[in-house]
Amino acid sequence: MKIVVLKFGGTSVGTIKKIKKVTEIIASYKKKKYNVIVVSSAMSGVTNELIKKSVEISTNFSESEYDVLVSSGEQMSCSLIAGRLIDRGYKSRSWLSWQIPIITNGVHKNSRINKVNRNKILKYLKEGGIPIITGFQGINNNNRITTIGRGGSDASAIMIAKFFKAEKCIIYTDVEGIYTTDPNKLIKAKKIKVISYEEMLEMASLGAKVMQPVSIQDARLNRIDIEVRSSFVKKSGTIITKRSNIINNKIVTGISTTQNDSKVSLIGVKDKPGVAASIFKPLSKNSINVDMVVQNISANGKETDLTFTIKTEDLNKTKKILKENSNINFRKLLLKKDVSKISIIGVGMITTPGVTFRMFQALANKRINIQVISTSEIKISVLIDNKDTKKALIALHKEFRLDGNK
């Protein structure tokens, strides 16, 4: 059975006019003799409105009822899609997660899909039907509705593609694919035709908002190829696949930048076993995400300077936690707002010497000071002043020929 899974994001189903457009896309695959499984998000803005209502009702709204509430957005969009397809003469119906069922495990608000029962959907496909399945949700062992985190409809589509052994999994959104960098920040950004799971995971983790990291990780673990494309224009998108499928002479695939970062430096920390854990444990308990970390040991080995980055909205809370932490001793606490992380990403970096030098030299040529450096196998990140971000992005995009110039 030739199956394609089509997932439509909130912006793709955001209005009645857009839903009518979506049904034309669905019908085009049906005409190509595909058995089509559709996964839909809620209409854009609906989930946020539902969350707002929960806060207005209670400052400590039940997490299980939260899942029941916010999952209703997808129910509405799926019904509208199915209703339009029926109006166009197609056999279609909406399927809620518990009707299939899609089994999840984990806590409310952040569950993971464990199993998708195939029997009812396969029977419906053989009858010529087009199932429209609610994304972002499932049921647990207690028959309670669960949700799988923001961006979870992508994960729903990927897991459905896995269990139904789909030939294609296509994520329809409001952009034409994955770009070398954010096209809103750099007009010369180019659409990437093919990108590896690892590169996409790094780009998503570093701020690219097209897909959530957890969805990419699911695709990578299950070896599901994904195409990201626009529901508004008829153009090919970006394929996300395994490295061995990619023939690419690019050293660097893309560049990501973050906004709203701050740098925290602890100077003259008394160095002893477990001191780093003593610093970061209370931050973790307060849900403060620590990013880049650099440690410098003094020559006498008795003191260390520790620098790390956090989001600016957590700066005051971090300052308070560090100053009240009786388990650590330090001479000075330095805080700096208005910094930005810029990262180059590419599997080609693994086998290409001199990439680090080229990055640093390109920034030096523009008199951009590097404050912190962090590296991995396929990524180099540096921390710079916010005011230099655009200049750095242009320089690196040009240095690694991502704008198409040779």
Domain range summary for the chain, segments of one domain joined by +: 3-174
- How many residues does this entry show for the chain? 406
Q: Amino acid identity of 306?
A: L
Residues 343, 203: Cα–Cα separation, whole Å: 9
Low-confidence ranges of the chain (pLDDT < 70): 207-209, 248-249, 299, 404-406
How much is the pLDDT for 406?
46
How much is the pLDDT for 404?
67
How much is the pLDDT for 369?
96
Residues 279, 297: Cα–Cα separation, whole Å: 16
Pairing of strands 238-241, 226-230: antiparallel
CB 207 within 8 A of CB 201: no
Task: State residue 46 phi and psi, 5-degree precision.
Answer: -65, -45
DSSP letter assigned to residue 289? P
Provide the 10 A C-beta neighbour count for residue 134. 30
Total-model pTM: 0.84
Residues 211, 202: Cα–Cα separation, whole Å: 11
Name the CATH superfamily housing domain 3-174.
Acetylglutamate kinase-like (3.40.1160.10)
H/E segment holding residue 333: strand 332-345
